[in-house]
Structure 1
């Protein structure tokens, strides 16, 4: 088995409901592939296009860490705990579903919203639910890996969203020809998606919104063939 597997965007699971056009990196809803049930603690990575003035009506979740990363437009959140917020492009929200939470997410904008919805399995079940969001200006991640959310010891703080999992969400932006490296731990699982450009990952080519599944490597070297944004989940 290759330690680095490129999963082309065109080969992902697909569904189009008119208001929602989505691609599934892992088995979800009516898309089932027994070889793609998750990657470490990462269970879901959905690539969603949401029509303007539409969205997900109230629905429940439990015992899941749900990360939303907005690529274009904005998404507005409201939940049963009384939390409300608008998360714009480049920013992140994390909902820890815990013992149970009901939420709605709507695109209240006059343009389509594009986002990743990522689910990570928590370390423990039955925890108290919570929600939070942070703005992450892209300039802070230029040529540099930045931790957006984490449940790992030593990586929490006012500038990092909290998760109830031994996992973290990283982001970076690269100019054409720029290279960024990351030391890896052999028994952890890394899943990266380039946004808006093409990269070489340890010599393998990945295009816009392809999935890059990595494990068993000591180091990851990513070179931008064109300007690109990177999003990665690192989990046990």
Structure 2
């Protein structure tokens, strides 16, 4: 089963400095049919104006993954972490027993991010933060693991949950496959471009909710940059 969730069907709010679209119920947007997808709880599509951002605020017991689509985001938290993550790269924050952080666009241009929240399978742990570059060339024509709760995904950023966040860049006409284990929930969003998943057209910033599929074949209609979450029930 693959359910298309078009971008124009998403919830959201425009706060001036922040134009936020929500794939799942979040803040003042509530849709009982879109509260989660397995352990995937939030997928926000955020456009942040220059020299603005999210002031310090707390979280706990959540794995928060930020994929930068355009521009850059600067992270600061009460653990003393400070870092700048650029387009195509990823940062992860394991909120654990509690962390307060700020995310600012300190650039002179607009920043666009996907912010993904996944419920943890490990709680009561110390909070942590990390980031690393993922060159788009390394993902050319294939899915590459960006963040993972599995120990054998050595090159991925660690998260404390039974899930993976993967990415791919496909040129028009290229096809990549992704294999799911049994009882998994997949959610795929093209950051740019458009693709067909087993014949279903998915355009930029649409969501594709995937269930009961052992494998998907993703073919780029045009040059595309993809992000996919593979989550437990």
Q: TM-score, structure 2 length as denominator?
A: 0.98
The SS at the match of 1:22 is strand
Runs of 4+ in structure 1 off by over 3 angstroms are none
**Aligned residues of 1:185 and 1:216 also touching (Cα < 8 A):** no
Query: Match of 1:161?
Result: 157
Following superposition, the deviation at residue 153 of structure 1 comes to 3.3
Shift of 1:137: 0.6
For the 8 Å contact 1:147–1:170, the answer to whether it is kept is yes
- The equivalent of 2:121 in structure 1 is 123
Alpha-carbon distance in structure 1 between the residues aligned to 2:224 and 2:31: 29
Per-residue CA deviation, residues 145-189 of structure 1 (Å, 9 max, x unaligned), is: 10000002311x3x3100000101000000001111112223000
**What TM-score does the superposition give when structure 1 sets the normalisation length?**
0.97
**How is 1:154-193 mapped onto 2 (pairs within 5 angstroms)?**
154-155=152-153, 157=154, 159-193=155-189
Q: Which residue of 1 aligns with 2:195?
A: 199
* Unmatched 5+ stretches in structure 1: none
Corresponding position of 1:95: 93
TM superposition shift of 1:218 = 1.6
CA distance in 2, matches of 1:24, 1:83: 27
Equivalent residue number for residue 35 of structure 1: 33
Q: Distance in 2 between matches of 1:195 and 1:87?
A: 16
Residues of 2 paired with 1:137 and 1:102: CA distance?
29
**Superposition deviation, residue 222 in structure 1:** 0.4
Maintained 8 Å contact 1:151/1:164: yes
Q: 1:228 aligns with which of 207, 210, 224?
A: 224
- How far apart, CA to CA, are the structure 1 residues paired with 2:229 and 2:179? 14
Q: Which residue of 1 aligns with 2:78?
A: 80
Contact preservation (8 Å) 1:186, 1:215 = no
Return 5+ residue gaps in structure 2 as ranges.
none
Superposed displacement of residue 198, structure 1: 1.2
3-state SS of paired residue (1:123): coil
Q: How large is the RMSD of aligned CA atoms in angstroms?
A: 0.7
